[in-house]
Structure 1
Amino acid sequence: MTQKLTGKELLAEGWPPGPIMGAALEAAETLLADNLDRGEVLARLNGVRLAPAQFRSDPLFGVLAQRLIELEQPKAPPAASIREAPIPFRVWGTDFEPQTLQQLENAARLPVSQAAALMPDGHPGYGLPIGGVLGTENSVIPYGVGVDIACRMRMSIYNEPPSLLNAQGDRLRKALLFNTRFGIGERDGEWDPRNRRDHPLLDDPRWHELSLLRHLHDKAVRQMGTSGTSNHFAEWAALTVLEDIPQLGLQAGDTRLCFVTHSGSRGIGATIAQEYTRIAKDLRPELPKQFHELAWLDLESEAGQEYWLAMHVAGDFASACHQMIHQTVSAAAGLQPAAFVENHHNFAWEETHGGKTLIVHRKGATPAAAGELGVVPGTMADKGYLVVGLGNEASLDSSSHGAGRPRSRTASKQMITRHQRDAYLKQRGVELLNPDAGVDESPQAYKNPAEVMAQQTDLVRPIATFQPLMVMMASDEKFGKKKGKDNKRR
């Protein structure tokens, strides 16, 4: 094989030092391995450097071309554009940690921010707090959406009563155990290719529009129909209808068996969030440290348009995963859903509020426009709620997405024992199918869901409740001990 090119040679050709040069050297190594001579390799690299836009979709040069394009883009205005004081915003709920409010105040000081709100389940996150809602002008904040893009809820409702779980508990138990996958199992050799699930989304042409999405397609194939770690779950529950819901064919007083899932876009969304947060930070180097994770992308920029496309692909992927889980579990249980409800609660939407077009970031917040249905879970042992939105403009048509945490995961692990959790579950008649699930997901690790719901009566109205009966979550021993940002509470 021809001798490798060096950074010194690329400097002489006019290449900038740093990550771009590193990417160029990687591409050069690939070309040299294909027995191209050094002169031809240099010529091809320089062609990319001089006209990077022509190589954005090239499988070898796509990443390098993108970084060259970013280098040519004008930098953002100086940090002085950060507001001295946050724009006014409403807070629902009480007893928030100072960090939660500080994170939303920081977001409300951005020059692009036009409206903000905090939901009653709010607690610290990255960028925006969990439960934070932010409306921006012509811009999107990757970490305002979050790492788990399009984390969402889905509920399938059956004509059968909850008592079916008593009559056919073994069949429903096996359907849940053998047709759900949690965590990053493919890295540990646990995934059998014969069990991988197909979905039309995997053939969507958008996967080929960006080099990053092309790179992520194989991961999407592996992770289709699976759930994540942390607080993601799948459960059988008893639905109790509080008022007529004609669009679902339900009447007040009905009780139905339902299947509820909570998960997001898996490694697809995480990679997209990390890559475009990096780009946003690079474009705004003068932002003060406390604003780094709130770096935004102009929606009219190439990077902004790319993120918007990638975010929607991740959203459709998350929805497809839920569809596959519900189809396979329902089929294994011998059931046919009569109706379903689903909603994102980590996403950015283009909406009109106060006569303005805004990009509304909901990070752990449920869309709650007037008449809109949403699923708001409680805990693994406390009832959750099927709600209808009331269209409160001050909340940007939003509500809580769950119960929320009163303390960090670490603090909960130190305070709660498995025995305490299991006693709580037994008292409420809930079966946890994997008792090695982390104690930081115990009911005691969350706020009281009924109290949270009572703090947002002007945002949503409960129209049904669902009481968990049989629950499956990720195993703590295998997936709950990673260090770093994955342990940030959600």
Structure 2
Amino acid sequence: MGSKLSGKDLVKIGFPQNNTINIALGLITRYRKKEKKETILLELTELLQQPDRFVGHPIWGKVSEGLTTPIEIRMKELNEYRAPFTIFGENEIDEQAKRQLYDALKLPISRKGALMPDAHMGYGLPIGAVLATDNAVIPYGVGVDIGCRMSLSIFDLPASYFKGREFQLKNILKENTKFGLYDTHRVKQDHAIFSRTEFREIPLLKSLLDKAYRQLGTSGSGNHFVELGLVELQAVRAEWGIPLGQYLGVLSHSGSRGLGANIAKHYTKLATQQCPLPREVQHLAWLDLDSQSGQEYWIAMNLAGEYAQACHEDIHRRIAKALGASPVVTIENHHNFAWKEMVEGEECIVHRKGATPAAKGTLGIIPGSMTAPGFIVEGTGNCLSLQSASHGAGRVMSRSACKNSLTKSAMLKDLEEHGVELIGGALDESPRAYKDIHRVMKLQEELVHVLGIFSPRIVRMDK
């Protein structure tokens, strides 16, 4: 007998020749590959004899589910007609992004969709898409960076605070932010999230706990940033307790780091195994929320979202401490996530992939670019957009197009003209890569009201 288990070994002990074998082998490879073959086969024999005993088991639960309620794995067919949808700023959106939405609307689980004016092509759903589904979650409809979000801290420090302190403030950003795959804080900060039971009960999350601990308070690469700038409040809410005026602000954009990326990778693979789709929509494979895989993903996704929030809290805490001040207002929102929400009287799973929640009265941040302002907004609760708005300006140039057609010197000149200092930052994040944020905001006036503007002054990004 060889040292590695195969499908033939499982068939010999009585496994049905269906997808349950693939599920079992995948779990063994991930969680039990260092154990003796004989030990695992004894466990699986017991599982075959009494599968009900293993329902909900952290490792063998999915196999038990496959044995007790076998699911027929066959190619899913798309509907002939699309679910209802609305596109905001249609003339500003490329045809590939629209085509991706049209394909998603033909999924048998789709109930309603929308496309925001910053939309552009992505994987599975386009960036800037909102899709409501029936009791199913699409991992790529949430995105790889689960819980990618915005966070703005407003300090009761006047705009004049910048004058004469530019060097000091630039150093505060340098010393208190970390970017990319490997750069982490020397002094780690503990957080209540690390004591969550999910990290003990779900094997995948247990294996990611150390990585999550190391990366707390750090940001990814690409378009993730931390910025110091000016906040101009044009309207205030009573709970803020501050008057109209200009204030110093810290704005951050990042997500759930390696924790979210690994969750996305793992459950996307499970979804594609359990839900085969035609080639053109294969990235839209979903997990039924009544299945163990679907329930696990939902729990893991929500944990990743809370971890992303914890990362922002740590970033802002470090900067606030360096400033010697405490924020008087904090505004934050996810824009890569899924929620259970009522859509036309029916509970649906609403995926927002690069879209800002904009229910009536809900606050959010819609950033521009390094040289363009971001906007503090309040949602209007528009049902046509599934109570959503854009998550930014949206790209008008791909990353490769930026590298082929733009120059670093031109980017630095643009920054200088707008009075913005940049730490790090790659050419593919040039302000010219983005749509006109003012045009985007004009196209969604029925979705959000503007309460204030954030103007970047010092921008920190990955190198």
TM-score where L is the length of structure 1: 0.87
CA distances 1:3-42 after superposition (whole Å, capped 9, x unpaired): 836646555334566574475478776334xxxxx75564
Write the letter of the residue equivalent to 1:311: M
Q: Hey, what does 2:42 align to over in structure 1?
A: 43
- Does the 8 Å contact 1:24/1:64 carry over to 2? no
Correspondent of 2:35 among 25, 31, 35: 31
CA distances 1:310-335 after superposition (whole Å, capped 9, x unpaired): 11000100000000100011101212
Q: What is the DSSP-based 3-state SS (H/G/I as helix, E as strand, rest coil) of the residue aligned with 1:447? A: coil
- Does the 8 Å contact 2:360/2:379 carry over to 1? yes
Please tell me whether residue 262 in structure 1 is matched to residue 253 in structure 2. yes
Larger mean Cα displacement after TM superposition, 203-212 or 441-450: 203-212
- Does the 8 Å contact 1:90/1:395 carry over to 2? yes
Q: What is the DSSP-based 3-state SS (H/G/I as helix, E as strand, rest coil) of the residue aligned with 1:335? A: coil
Give me the whole-angstrom Cα distance separating, in 1, the residues matched to 2:74 and 2:9: 35
Q: CA 1:456 to 1:25, structure 2 compared with 1: closer, same or farther past 3 Å?
A: closer
Q: CA 1:468 to 1:69, structure 2 compared with 1: closer, same or farther past 3 Å?
A: same
Please tell me whether residue 454 in structure 1 is matched to residue 442 in structure 2. yes
Q: What is the DSSP-based 3-state SS (H/G/I as helix, E as strand, rest coil) of the residue aligned with 2:106? A: coil
Within a 5 Å distance, the mapping from 1:233-272 to structure 2 comes to: 233-252=225-244, 254-272=245-263
Please tell me whether residue 83 in structure 1 is matched to residue 79 in structure 2. yes
Give me the whole-angstrom Cα distance separating, in 2, the residues matched to 1:101 and 1:42: 49
- Does the 8 Å contact 1:171/1:333 carry over to 2? no
Give me the whole-angstrom Cα distance separating, in 1, the residues matched to 2:206 and 2:5: 29
Write the letter of the residue equivalent to 1:100: A
Q: CA 1:458 to 1:40, structure 2 compared with 1: closer, same or farther past 3 Å?
A: closer
CA distances 1:217-270 after superposition (whole Å, capped 9, x unpaired): 111111111111110000001011112332323433x00000000000111111
Q: Hey, what does 2:223 align to over in structure 1?
A: 231
Write the letter of the residue equivalent to 1:46: T
Please tell me whether residue 301 in structure 1 is matched to residue 291 in structure 2. yes
Please tell me whether residue 404 in structure 1 is matched to residue 404 in structure 2. no
Q: What is the DSSP-based 3-state SS (H/G/I as helix, E as strand, rest coil) of the residue aligned with 2:401? A: helix
- Does the 8 Å contact 1:238/1:257 carry over to 2? yes
Q: CA 1:404 to 1:237, structure 2 compared with 1: closer, same or farther past 3 Å?
A: same
Write the letter of the residue equivalent to 2:256: S
Q: Hey, what does 1:115 align to over in structure 2?
A: 112
Q: What is the DSSP-based 3-state SS (H/G/I as helix, E as strand, rest coil) of the residue aligned with 1:465? A: strand
How many residues in Structure 1 have an aligned counterpart in Structure 2?
A: 456
Q: CA shift at 1:344, angstroms?
A: 0.3
Larger mean Cα displacement after TM superposition, 271-280 or 457-466: 271-280
Give me the whole-angstrom Cα distance separating, in 1, the residues matched to 2:346 and 2:368: 34
Within a 5 Å distance, the mapping from 1:89-238 to structure 2 comes to: 89-93=85-89, 94-185=91-182, 191=184, 194-238=186-230
Give me the whole-angstrom Cα distance separating, in 2, the residues matched to 1:395 and 1:331: 39
CA distances 1:161-202 after superposition (whole Å, capped 9, x unpaired): 1221223233322221111111111xxxx546x522211111
Please tell me whether residue 281 in structure 1 is matched to residue 277 in structure 2. no
Q: CA 1:3 to 1:134, structure 2 compared with 1: closer, same or farther past 3 Å?
A: closer
Give me the whole-angstrom Cα distance separating, in 2, the residues matched to 1:229 and 1:339: 27
Give me the whole-angstrom Cα distance separating, in 2, the residues matched to 1:431 and 1:26: 45
Q: CA shift at 1:416, angstroms?
A: 1.2
Q: CA 1:40 to 1:70, structure 2 compared with 1: closer, same or farther past 3 Å?
A: closer
Give me the whole-angstrom Cα distance separating, in 1, the residues matched to 2:416 and 2:179: 24
Q: CA 1:27 to 1:113, structure 2 compared with 1: closer, same or farther past 3 Å?
A: closer
- Does the 8 Å contact 1:224/1:320 carry over to 2? yes
Give me the whole-angstrom Cα distance separating, in 1, the residues matched to 2:55 and 2:204: 10
Q: CA shift at 1:352, angstroms?
A: 1.4
Unaligned runs of 5+ in 2: none
Correspondent of 1:324 among 314, 317, 323: 314
Give me the whole-angstrom Cα distance separating, in 1, the residues matched to 2:306 and 2:407: 38
Q: CA shift at 1:438, angstroms?
A: 1.1
- Does the 8 Å contact 1:241/1:250 carry over to 2? no
Q: Hey, what does 2:451 align to over in structure 1?
A: 463
Give me the whole-angstrom Cα distance separating, in 1, the residues matched to 2:31 and 2:225: 42
CA distances 1:66-122 after superposition (whole Å, capped 9, x unpaired): 356457641367533x21121231111123221100110011111111111000000
| Percent identical residues | 42
CA distances 1:436-457 after superposition (whole Å, capped 9, x unpaired): x211101111001111111111
Unaligned runs of 5+ in 1: 33-37, 476-490
- Does the 8 Å contact 1:5/1:28 carry over to 2? no
- Does the 8 Å contact 1:245/1:251 carry over to 2? no
Q: CA shift at 1:425, angstroms?
A: 0.3
- Does the 8 Å contact 1:91/1:120 carry over to 2? yes
Write the letter of the residue equivalent to 1:133: V
Q: Hey, what does 1:481 align to over in structure 2?
A: none
Q: What is the DSSP-based 3-state SS (H/G/I as helix, E as strand, rest coil) of the residue aligned with 2:271? A: helix
Please tell me whether residue 395 in structure 1 is matched to residue 382 in structure 2. no
Q: CA 1:353 to 1:41, structure 2 compared with 1: closer, same or farther past 3 Å?
A: closer
TM-score where L is the length of structure 2: 0.92
Correspondent of 1:376 among 363, 366, 369: 366
Give me the whole-angstrom Cα distance separating, in 1, the residues matched to 2:191 and 2:26: 37
Give me the whole-angstrom Cα distance separating, in 2, the residues matched to 1:405 and 1:25: 39
- Does the 8 Å contact 1:107/1:294 carry over to 2? yes
Q: What is the DSSP-based 3-state SS (H/G/I as helix, E as strand, rest coil) of the residue aligned with 2:178? A: coil
Give me the whole-angstrom Cα distance separating, in 1, the residues matched to 2:55 and 2:187: 35
Write the letter of the residue equivalent to 2:284: L
Give me the whole-angstrom Cα distance separating, in 2, the residues matched to 1:145 and 1:27: 25
